[in-house]
Each structure stands twice: as C-alpha cells, then as structure tokens.
Amino acid sequence: MKFRPLLALLALVSGCAASPKSAAPPSKRQQLTVLYVADLHAQLRAHPELFWRDGEERIELAGGFARLSAAIQRIRAERGGDVLVLDGGDTIQGSGAAALTEGRALIAPLNALGLDGAVPGNWEVVYGPQVLRQRARELKHPLFAANVRDAASGERLFPPSLVKDVGGVKVAVVGFTDPDVPRRQPPGYSQGLRYDGPEALPTLVREARERDGAQVVLLLSHVGLAKAVGLAARVPGVDVHLSSDTHERTYAPIEQAGTWVVEPGAFGSFLGRLDLWLEEGKVVDRRWELIELTASRFPEDPEMARQVEAALATHDEALLAQVGHTDVTLARYAVVENPLDNMLADAIRAAGGTQIGLSNGFRFGTPLLPGPVREADLWNLFPVTNKLKTGKVSGRQLRAFWEQELENVFAKDPEHRFGGWLPRPSGMTVRFRAAAPKGQRVLALEVAGEPVVDSRLYTVTACERDGDAPDMLCRIPGALEPHVLDLDAHEAVRRFLAGAPRLSDALEGRAVGEDLPAVLRTQQVSR
C-alpha cells in the first residue's frame, strides 16, 4: 500500500514523457533519386551490346536514346518527377553523324532527353574550343566543370558546379574533367584552353555545404574509375563520386574513405540509378543499381525515336553504305587484345606497307555481328580521321614505348594512369607482367617472330595527331624518316576489307599479360 503514491507519480511522469504535446516531432525521411549516364559517344540508335557478368557473356540489342528516354520517364513517373538526371561526358562525339555535323546532330535529341546537367568529357574538344562553346549554348542543360579555363583570360569556361533543389533536397554536384586532355588528345584539339588539376575540389565541396547549404554533395568526374577511386580519399565530404571516361560497369559501388564511387558503362547501354535517403538533412542510407537497357526489358519512347530518325535522316544514305563483310563477331571490349582491333591494326600495317602497325587503345565501339560492315561502323570504331603516318624506330624506342604504355594502363598509382587501353599491334607481339614495377614490365618483344634488337630499326605505321611534333609517331618520339600518308584509318579498313580477308574472332597472343586473365574487361585489377 505504501508504494502506491510513488507508483502513481512514476506513472504520471511517464505519461507526461509520452505526451504528444511534449514529444519531439518525428524526423522526416526524404529520398533523392539520381539517374546517371556517361560516355554515350553519340550512339543515338539501338545497337548490339556485349554483356558479361558472373562468368557468363551474351550479346543483346540495347541502348539508343529512345530506350534511354523510356527508362528515364519510367523512373520519373515512379518518383513523381523528383529526379536529378546527369551526364558524365563524351557525348557529342563517337559516331559518323556526330563527326559530320561537329556534334550538332546530337543537340535536339539531348534537349528532348531532359538532362539537368553534364560534365564535358575529354572528347568534347574534338571539334575545337569554339565549337564546344557553341554546342554548350545550344544545349538546354548546363555544362559544368571546375577545371577548364580559357588559356588567355584564365576564366572558367563553365560554372564549377550545379546546385538544385530536387524534391525538397538541396543537391550540389561539383564537376571535374580530365586534366590530361592537352596530352591525351591531339594537342590541336584543345589549343586555347587550360586544364587545372584537382587542387580546388576540396574547397568547392566544402563551400557547397557551408555556403550553398547543400544536404547532398556529389562529385561528377570524367577522369576514369581508377583515378576517381584515388580522388575519394583526397576530396572529403563527397557522398557519392559519379565517375566516367573508362566505360567501366560498376554493378556494385566501390567504397573508398566512406565515399561510394560508381561508373555507369557506356554507349547508352546502361543507366545508373542512385537513391539516397536523408533524415534531418543527413544521408542515412544509399542504394546503387546499374540498369541494363536491353530491348527485352525496356521499350522505346516513340517521340524520342522520331527525334533520332530526324537527326540521322540526312546522313543515313552515306553512313549505311557497305564497305566490307565479316563472317564472325568482332568485339572490342578488352583492355589488352581483342579480335576487332587485330583487324584494324592489320589494316593500318597493310596500308603503310611496314613491319609493324599500331592502333590506339580506343574503348569505342559496340560489337560487329556477322554480316555487312558499313561506313557507320568505321566511325563507331575509329571516330577520328587523322592521317596515317609511317617512320622508322629502333628496338630500344619500341621497348620504351611499350613500357610507357603499360605504365599508362596498369600504373599502381591511379594518378599515373593515362588514356585508354593498351595499343593494338600488328606484326609484333609483346609479353609482359602488369604488376611489375614501372619500366620492368616487358618480358619479350618480337617482330615477325624474331626477338626485337635494341639497335635495329623497324618500320612502323601509326597515326598522325594534330599538333604533334613532326618526328612523333603516335606516341613514339624521335621517329626517323616520318612520312604522313594520304589516307586515314577508315580508308585503310576499306582497302583491307576489299581484299576479303579471313577474319578471326580468336585471340592471337599479340599482347599477353602473364599475370592477367586471357580476356581482361576492366582496368580495376586487384594487386
């Protein structure tokens, strides 16, 4: 009996604590959805795409702006329109229609897609800075990048970031593109521009939160997945780093220093979806999905299909002309060697009449299925028309070239990675160890089955790059007797296919990494 007043008091206090009038209001959970594409490379129409996952490979019809538009519209409807749609660059280059119009053919379809913003990629300068500025003015969405400046004035070409309110969530997206553009592309492409490094990024991220009041800060970069992962530790305060350039397909996010790093494939064959949940203005949960935009899963948006056909109508007659035939499937997507580039390198060597042919390690191009090879395919696989160039280089120069290219592709420090995949040889073979130290990777070099001799001279056909020194042969300096041919890689392939060569879909051991799988699909190699 004597405990009843105390129990009553406790009950009263407890009742007051649970009273709705005095309880703190429950926190409101908010959801932010970001859709993300990158490296579209002007692939307006659907195309065959090579997919691989869990040890299985398949080719399906995928991509195209009409299918991409349908997927974006479906998710927009699901989210009540509260979606942020971003593009990671390399958008207005990579197809015949893009090249023939200096990117103009992409403007109407891109505007119909309804993007919120984009970072310019390394190939956006292919038509020169003035055309880049013009295309930026024609787009309805802004281009933004912190590190592209006019060389004369020092002024930024574009705003450094994009700040938007999406469904009540304030989002800041800081843009950063490849600072190696003046070296990586032919130097003439970016003449008059200056590219800064990543030094300003930490300040821009901090200002996005402190000055702009952003609840979510994203970094949208076009430097490649390895460098993006490396930047995560150097740029704190980023919730998710949206990477592009290397065409990598991150089905699962890579976590580095608390930041997620993701990359959404290429050619419009994929759409990345990022969902972030916030409570009291802080990110408390996140989810990433890499969506395969296959014909079996997504229809095409009829209105966008009309936009695409209108953009391509005046170019179809020329681009659909047949230049050859293949009896086998030719696919490129491999870091070291692939059948498609074996054909291209053979065509380059035959055109120059030299011992060696070298093709760049381009990542462009979806699979060529058995059947006709058309003009459009030449542009998809080799989207620039630089003249071919011959010269003589020593065995020592060849060895130095391969050591540097292997460092570019497999450098342990991501900051030292550069450009695309390994160059593609014809008439020579290279064996190497990818994990060996810089300058010590090459195990064996052979030309026509014979070991390369350092003091011997070898004839090579490669490419002439706008702005290079006269004695530069692709990226081999000091070539002797350099000579620019009156034909480009497209004409080389036309002539080669006219001879009805027996094409192969098999690897030939032209470049072999002894510590790598037979087919390497990614540069994210575990060390």
420 with 90: CB under 8 angstroms?
no
User: Cα dihedral sign for 441, 447, 452, 456?
Assistant: negative
What tokens appear for 140 in the block? 């309805």
What Cα–Cα distance (Å) separates residue 487 from each residue in 99, 346, 385, 493? Answer: 17, 15, 9, 10
Closest by CA position to 371, among listed 327, 318, 332: 327
What tokens appear for 54 in the block? 């869990």
Edge-to-edge strand list for the sheet holding 270-279 = 117-118, 83-87, 29-37, 270-279, 282-292
Please give the helix or strand (H or E) that residue 375 lies within, else none: helix 375-381
A 10 A CB-CB count for 366 gives 25
**3-state secondary structure at position 109:** helix
SS3 sequence of 311-359: HHCCCHHHHCCEEEEECCCECCCCCCCCHHHHHHHHHHHHHHCCCEEEE
What pLDDT is attached to residue 474?
A: 83
69 with 350: CB under 8 angstroms?
no
Closest by CA position to 410, among listed 361, 447, 452, 357: 361
Q: How far is Cα 233 from Cα 254, in angstroms, rounded to an integer?
A: 12
What pLDDT is attached to residue 11?
A: 38
CB hemisphere CA count around 258 (13 angstroms): 8
DSSP alpha helices (H): ranges in 190-301? 201-210, 225-234
Positions in the chain whose pLDDT score sits under 70: 1-27, 525-527
Cα 168 to chain center, whole Å? 31
What pLDDT is attached to residue 8?
A: 38
CB proximity list for 252: less than 8 A, separation 6 or greater: 288
**3-state secondary structure at position 426:** strand
171 with 214: CB under 8 angstroms?
yes
Q: How far is Cα 266 from Cα 246, in angstroms, rounded to an integer?
A: 9
CB hemisphere CA count around 276 (13 angstroms): 25
Q: How far is Cα 179 from Cα 171, in angstroms, rounded to an integer?
A: 25
Cα 38 to chain center, whole Å? 6
DSSP 264: B
Q: How far is Cα 97 from Cα 318, in angstroms, rounded to an integer?
A: 10
**Helices 302-312 and 65-78 sit at what angle, rounded to 10 degrees?**
150
Describe the chain by its helix, strand, coil percentages, rounded to 5: 30, 30, 40
What pTM value is reported for the model? 0.91
DSSP 86: E
Round to the nearest angstrom and report the end-to-end CA distance of the chain. 74
